Structure 1
Amino acid sequence: KRIETSFPSLAKRFFDKLAEGQASQAETHIKVVSGSVEAACGLGLADAVVDLVETGTTMHAAGLEVVGEPLFVSEALLFQQKPTERNGLGGGRKADIIKIIEQRILGYLTATRFVMLIYNVHDDNLTKCCGITPGKRSPTVTELKEEGWHSVSSLVKKEAQNAIMDELIKEGAKDIL
């Protein structure tokens, strides 16, 4: 079989292990490529590819499908030395930069896990609706020009947003975004 990949060592290890214990061994030829690995099969350059994917959307768009378990699962981690004045992380410019990076990562994670839900609600139902949407810290409640009405903004987990919207409607919330 012809395999194209940007990860030759990982691919070789996988196919060597796969070949162990098989009576007839099909020869596997691994070719190293960089970028657009998923195009190799469509161009007739490979029978299969080994590639790094996050969601598989690009692979599916190229007409490919997953035929095995992931070779490995990874995640990105950010490490920092223990902050001291000597290494510059206890204060000053380096510490400020690390703090900015940390805040940006936390902001990104919040943006990928939560959505901002905004709705209008009458005084009579405000407490109940705010209980449904407590937010990460608390909901933002703003009085509307129309007496007795409030606009509420709150972060809710993406996977729960539809159920929360349904519950808010039952409790009298209007104009839900």
Structure 2
Amino acid sequence: MNHFGERLRFREAFLDGRALIVNMMFTVCKGTCPGASAALRGLREALGPVFGERLTIVSITLEPRDDSPAALQRCATIYGAGRRRPELCDWQFVTGRPASVERLRRSLGFYDLDPRIDADVTQHGELLLFGNSTSDRWSALPASLRPALLIETIRRVSGFTFEQRYGIRA
């Protein structure tokens, strides 16, 4: 379920021929989440005009028991994603059943190889997974990288056209 109260399934909702940026987060976090969400807000503003409706940002809660759609809505509003804006790409804050979120977290690669560290979800990193479901090109980088580097890399990996990838009209 997203912060708009809409029920969805990850594969059907997001892997439908669009580019994605995905992260894991907490609505109440004193660690890396605020910085990662601020970076995503900047990426949305920079990449929204380039990709339009073909890019979606998905922030998935690590605390599905506590982070209800209403809590996600409050968090989304802080970062300018509380309502859909046609001039920007879609940004959805997502929760679900704890077992489903855990399965999704692992299938997307948001886990630590050390089981002790992985068991403590507060040890999560500020990783951004991004790619294009049409070309099946995917990569990941820390959200704390310089914005220009993130923008360039996301464009090159996730772009559908030469212009989206390189910023040059073909």
- Structure 1 and Structure 2 fold alike (TM over 0.5): no
- For the pair shown, the structure with the greater C-alpha radius of gyration is 1
TM-score bracket, shorter-length normalisation:
under 0.3
TM-score, structure 2 normalization: 0.23
TM-score, structure 1 normalization: 0.22
